[in-house]
Structure 1
Amino acid sequence: MIGALALVALAACGGPPPAATPDEVSRLAAAIAALGPEVNRDEARRAAEISYAHSHRLALEYEITDPPIIHNTKVNLGIKPRGLCWHWAHDMEKRLAQERFATLDLHRAVANADNAFRLEHSTAIVSAKGADYDDGIILDPWRKGGRLTWMPVREDDAYNWEPRNEVVARALERKHGQIVTLTDDQRILMGGAEFVPE
């Protein structure tokens, strides 16, 4: 409750969210390391540090001063440069991918894609190497306006996540009226060519 009040107060002040504390980074590092015995502890620590630092950097870059829905409206009106949920997910995944982790995999997921009553939402996910996305941890800076929200995918009661490429494949089939194939390694094939979503 206090955290929610602090976020409301922060949004009212019109400033960006604060940087993470060392304790926050340590808790995320421990959770990533606990994804499996094969997860390298140094990689888990680096992934946690980058997740928090990049969330803060993006909040400054996106000029976050409002709660997410208000910021989304400003982005859609052209008042702010970026900061929709898919921007956060894309930029977070891209930054973490630069590390070329040997014991961790990165995923993208989408929730509410086919629900006309709820806004679609995107996130980046980190898992142990070779694990499914839903065995991973959500890395979602959008949800609290630039403050990193993380939790195991299966414990997220707010969203029902699906692999992003499954959602994209369904949308392409509807839009183009042709069969879209999703390969075992999550590549999207349409008309014999690979489709690579942003």
Structure 2
Amino acid sequence: MSLIRSVFLGLALGVLAACGSYGPTDVSSHDVAKLEAGLLALGPEVDPDEAARAARIAYEYTAILAREYEIADAPLVHNTKVNMGLKPRGLCWHWAEDMENRLLKENFQTLDVLRAIANAESDWLIDHSTALLAPRGGGLRDAMVLDPWRYGGRLAWAPVPEDTRYDWVPQEVVHARWRAEIAAGKREAPPVGATLK
């Protein structure tokens, strides 16, 4: 890498790191209540107790993971540190996988835990993974995005149709495409760290 590129990358990472505070925060009952209401608005079949539990877990587990991942920087800066071996975890797919696994432990009866990936076909944007909650039997367009990576350990959430920042695709669709590309010799392997389900 040229000296000029190295200096530019260092400056860019420094600017990103200075653009706000990151990492675990206290869980606000007001924020949990807003997410609970959002989950209830997904459909009349969503049980109020499950919506309340899911909302509380989503916020509390985000804070737990932010501490475990040692989040102190903007997401892309933290990604760089993870990829350099300086931090243990904290790539978007780590957040998505860990959130998915935690929510699945609840055995919800009226909510399905889903996964989605954005930017998987982009040549210049990095893939972005997230966990979602949908009413039982609902699909991606019916789901609520739960994205702790986006703001560096602060939970971002929105119904999929309102989350215009990303064009979410079901994880299984992206993984099937990657498997087909690998089989056809168009891709050597899935992206670093991706486990094809």
- Of the three residues 60, 72, 75, the one matched with 2:79 is 72
Q: Is 1:135 aligned to 2:142, yes or no?
A: yes
| Distance in 1 (alpha carbons) for counterparts of 2:59 and 2:120 | 27
What secondary structure does 1:151 align onto? strand
| TM-score after normalising by structure 1 | 0.83
| TM-score after normalising by structure 2 | 0.83
User: Percent identity, aligned pairs only?
Assistant: 49
- Of the three residues 62, 67, 76, the one matched with 2:69 is 62
| Distance in 1 (alpha carbons) for counterparts of 2:82 and 2:141 | 30
Q: Which residue of 2 aligns with 1:10?
A: 21
| Distance in 1 (alpha carbons) for counterparts of 2:59 and 2:100 | 13
How far off its partner does 1:82 sit?
Answer: 0.3
> What is the aligned-residue RMSD (CA, Å)?
1.5
- Of the three residues 163, 175, 180, the one matched with 1:173 is 180
| Distance in 2 (alpha carbons) for counterparts of 1:87 and 1:153 | 20
Task: Check whether the contact 2:24–2:64 (CA below 8 A) recurs between aligned residues.
Answer: no
How far off its partner does 1:125 sit?
Answer: 0.5
> Which residue identity lines up with residue 150 of structure 1 in the other structure?
W
Structure-2 change in CA distance of 1:19 and 1:8 (3 Å): farther
Q: Which runs of 5+ in 1 are unaligned?
A: 1-6, 179-195
* Residues 110-168 of structure 1: CA deviation (Å, up to 9, x unaligned): 00001011111000010100111221100000000000000000111111000001101
Q: Which runs of 5+ in 2 are unaligned?
A: 1-17, 186-194
- Of the three residues 42, 65, 77, the one matched with 1:35 is 42
| Distance in 2 (alpha carbons) for counterparts of 1:145 and 1:54 | 14
- Report the structure, 1 or 2, having the larger strand content: 1
How many aligned residue pairs are there? 171
What secondary structure does 1:124 align onto? strand
| Distance in 2 (alpha carbons) for counterparts of 1:64 and 1:160 | 26
What secondary structure does 1:143 align onto? coil
Task: Check whether the contact 1:66–1:145 (CA below 8 A) recurs between aligned residues.
Answer: yes
- Of the three residues 100, 103, 118, the one matched with 2:125 is 118
| Distance in 1 (alpha carbons) for counterparts of 2:25 and 2:19 | 13
| Distance in 2 (alpha carbons) for counterparts of 1:78 and 1:154 | 36
| Distance in 1 (alpha carbons) for counterparts of 2:102 and 2:173 | 23
Q: Which residue of 2 aligns with 1:192?
A: none
Q: Is 1:89 aligned to 2:96, yes or no?
A: yes
> Which residue identity lines up with residue 59 of structure 1 in the other structure?
A
* Residues 32-58 of structure 1: CA deviation (Å, up to 9, x unaligned): 011111110000000000000000000
Structure having greater relative contact order (Cα 8 Å, sep ≥ 6): 2
| Distance in 1 (alpha carbons) for counterparts of 2:178 and 2:26 | 37
Q: Which residue of 1 aligns with 2:9?
A: none
Q: Which residue of 2 aligns with 1:144?
A: 151
Q: Which residue of 2 aligns with 1:189?
A: none
Q: Which residue of 2 aligns with 1:153?
A: 160
* Residues 55-107 of structure 1: CA deviation (Å, up to 9, x unaligned): 00000000000000000000000000000000000000000000000000011
| Distance in 1 (alpha carbons) for counterparts of 2:125 and 2:67 | 27
